[in-house]
A and B are shown apart, each in its own frame.
Chain A
Amino acid sequence: MSRWQHAWYSPIDELRPRLFRVGLLLVLAFDCWLNRVPRAGKYGAGGFNVAHFEWLDRIQPMPSPGLYITVQLVTGLLALVAALTNGPRWMLALVTLGWTWGWSMSLLDAYQHHYLLSLLLVGVTLSRGYDTPCPWAWRLTGVNIGIVYSFAALTKVDGRWLSGELVSQGLGRSLRWVPELATTVGLSTSTGWLLAGLGACLVDLTLGLTYLAAPWRDGSPRRWMGALATIGALLALAFHLSIEYSGFKIELFSTYTIWASLCWLWPLSWLQWADERVRRALQKLRFPALIGHSGYRAEGLLGVAAPLVGAALQLPGAAVAGAITSVVILFYPKGGRTLLFGSLLMWAAMDVLQTRFHYYRFLAQNELRLGRMEPALEALETAALFGELGETRRERLEELREAVSTGTVIVLPESEESAP
């Protein structure tokens, strides 16, 4: 076996790819339902849109809240089914396609980690072999993460960043704990910022190198690889938790990166131990029986419940999303019961976390700002069906009713973001 062949094609343990795939898809499902859907009101407002790629603008319809919600709900439901039933490669490809179209349809979504997730999903799709994971695809995904961290480090090789100037000016409000910590340990504030800037760059660089080496650590006689991975795992945990603690608005980015670090960098024996315990706990709860497959092809028909749940959500595009997933599941009857479970879970999660309330209040805010009083009123009245408006929004609702009845326009001050 040549060195190239050994490096990319030698067998790997199935646990790391499986854990990564399941965790990534589960988080992705909730990300689609709970984080993406409330932002749907922005899409196509005023008939203006710019996609991430010029060619996409030419072939796709003008995005709209309905289209965006359909894409997000379908992607989320298929991700959940694929995660819980060890879904086939074609289903993972659909999830990858759905997620990628979701962010690339508009520059309204400019989160870089959404692009990173697309790359990870490509890796997950290719790593999903028939019986055993595909070793080269798994290793390539690790290398890909290493490249991303390395470029993130390169961004910070900048005099203003390394001196701490940019960190204090641009991120100072979020990183208030840096000068406080510096003072506590007897350092000056400027030294604190300098260490924060330099530290972030070094952490990115170390994590880059760690991920580049990680795919070859299991079974390697080189002990330094295991040590580097463990140091990287601890660094990744501390780094991403500190980012989370600082309150940056980066949605679930830290969750994804911490999960990746657990699956790639933690010792295999630790993962085996945790996997065993989780499996036993799920067996005790009879979870596999709840979502499993009885062997009857007719179970695929259970997916017909998805459009009903979608219709009950009272969101544009939700019933269509349910219909699309129920058709997809006819080609994968094994996922029928899981789709039913997933649809109900989606409905419950969106209800508890008031996703519909947030969608309609954001929509009202957009319409109001663009001077469209009637749609703004309609959206705010619908929001009131799904959550408590509070005093400020109730006042806004009254103002809107009056504006619509008198044909006047409410002009918001430029900085106003709070209501509706």
Chain B
Amino acid sequence: MRRIRLSDLWIVGWILFQIGLPLSWYLRGGGADERFAWRMFSAQHLTRCELRYTERAPGIAETTEQRLDQLVQGTWVKAMTKGRPAVIDAFLSYRCAQGASELTLERKCGTVSETYRQRCEPPP
């Protein structure tokens, strides 16, 4: 009987990886992060959403609405509009690091809306 070669393992492993990675998106029940799932022109991708962002500076009572495109490069705003969780989390942490004390990001897609709130830890 022939010995199993490294290339045999690579072939099997690569095919399993290439099927498993996109399949994992479906097994997770979908979600905004469609990378590596080959979901070109998906319903998610084609859904139009809007963002509203407010933040409160330390020691100030009222919150003010901020334009996201003046805070980060426009492509990040598009990524957040698409609901990319990693970008939204990173953005909220970024704003905290910039000195904000309380942040609210609302994402509205048609009749469905979701809100991300973050209270920033005061700097040590």
Contact = CB atoms under 8 A, between A and B. Distances in A.
A368 to B, nearest CB: 10
Contact of A414 (B69, B71, B86, B91): B69
A310 to B, nearest CB: 26
Interface in A272-316: none
A75 B105 CA distance: 38
6 contacts: A2-B2, A112-B36, A152-B38, A155-B41, A171-B41, A370-B70
A267 interface: no
Interface of A: 2, 4-5, 8, 42, 45-46, 48, 50, 52, 54, 107-108, 110, 112, 115, 119, 136-137, 140, 143-144, 147-148, 151-152, 155-156, 158, 160-161, 166, 169-171, 200, 366, 369-371, 411, 414
A130 to B, nearest CB: 15
B76 interface: yes
The 8 residue pairs across chains A and B that have the minimum distance between CB atoms: A170-B46, A151-B38, A45-B73, A155-B39, A50-B90, A151-B22, A147-B18, A108-B75
A415 to B, nearest CB: 10
A136 B11 CA distance: 8
Contacts of B14: 140, 144
- Interface size on B, as a range, is 35 or more
Interface string B65-93: 00101111111100100001011001100
A68 to B, nearest CB: 13
Interface string B41-66: 11101110000000000000000000
A370 B35 contact: no
Contacts of B22: 147, 151
B84 A48 contact: no
Interface string B87-107: 100110010000000000000
A107 B87 contact: yes
**What does DSSP make chain B's interface, helix, strand, loop or mixed?**
helix
B40 interface: yes
B109 interface: no
A144 B16 CA distance: 10
A369 B70 contact: yes
A5 B35 contact: no
Contacts of A119: 18
Given A42-B73, A50-B76, A112-B36, 17 more contacts: A8-B7, A8-B11, A50-B86, A50-B87, A50-B90, A54-B86, A107-B76, A107-B79, A115-B36, A119-B18, A137-B7, A155-B40, A161-B43, A170-B46, A370-B70, A411-B70, A414-B69
Contacts of B15: 140, 143, 147
A137 B87 CA distance: 36
B38 A158 contact: no
B120 interface: no
A107 B38 contact: no
B35 A112 contact: yes
Interface centre among B15, B69, B73 (most CB of A within 10 A): B73
